[in-house]
Amino acid sequence: MIKIFIADNQYLALEGLKTLIMSQPAWEIFGQAETSSEMFEKIKSAQPDVLIIDYTSDTFSAENISSVLEILPSIKILAITPDQSKFIISNVLQTSIHSHLLKECGKDEILEAIVATANGDRFYCAKIVDTLMNNSEAIAPNTENSTVSCVGLNVSDREIEIIKLIAEGYSNKQIADLIFLSPHTINTHRKNIMSKIGVNNTAGIVVYAVKERIITPNKYLFSAAKN
């Protein structure tokens, strides 16, 4: 059972999410809110596993996410919003949000994101990742960046841990020793990570780690690799 709370003041988005969630037999809607005050009034007694929120709407904000986590530290947060700037997305990801989609994402991406978020994994729409890794401030309509597909990117906590260690300069064997896995398993994780984030070498993983704030560039990016 996945218990879900929806916070969105757009009627079509709210009803669409409710219909999608109710189509899944093991999921249940434990509450909904169209304003932040209504959300705070209901969410503590509802005790949901996942909060789906559009923090960009008129009646919610990114600050609401931090407040919810103070009330329910174990809740997982999935944001579903319209296109946003790199600045806004970067800031909201620092509020301990778990996953982020765009409202243009399809049914399969939303379903996969809810499952991943409930399991404690991170799930980002590919356009969110592209925005974060792009040098421009935002993905504007009618630009070549707007052709990026909205395909889910499911990066687990274990993969985040391995990305961090790779970016810090550890070899496969050193990572295996640190997290008690075999070098072969680490190599498999490395290949899966590169496939997921769309890179083909270690440098690409480092860039991703910096863009996602998994590592601090001043500390690691230009340091010598560990022996």
Domains by residue range for the chain, with CATH:
2-154 (3.40.50.2300), 157-220 (1.10.10.10)
pTM: 0.65
Please list the alpha-helical segments (H only) found in the chain.
Answer: 11-22, 36-46, 62-71, 86-93, 107-118, 126-133, 157-167, 172-179, 183-197, 202-211, 217-220
Give the pLDDT confidence of 143-169 residue by residue, as tens digits. Answer: 334 344 555 567 787 888 899 898 888
* Contact by Cβ (8 Å): 33, 9: no
Let me know: does 17 contact 63? Beta carbons within 8 Å.
Answer: no
d(CA 85, CA 191): 30
Average pLDDT for residues 99-113, to the nearest whole number? 90
CB 46 within 8 A of CB 78: no
53 Cβ contact partners less than 8 Å away, ≥ 6 residues apart: 6, 7, 8, 39, 60, 64, 65, 77, 78, 79, 80
Residues pairing with 153 in the sheet: 124
What does the pLDDT read at residue 226?
45
Digit-coded pLDDT (tens) for 165-212: 988 888 899 999 999 888 888 988 898 888 888 888 887 788 788 777
C-alpha closest to that of 14 among 35, 37, 42: 35
Given this model, what pLDDT does residue 167 score? Answer: 83
Which position has the higher pLDDT, 179 or 127?
A: 179
Helical axes 126-133 vs 202-211, angle rounded to 10°: 90
pLDDT score for 216: 62
Q: Does residue 128 have a pLDDT over 50? A: yes
Q: Considering the chain, what is the average pLDDT of its residues?
A: 83
In the predicted structure, residue 215 carries a pLDDT above the cut 80: no
Token pair of 65 as six digits: 């996410």
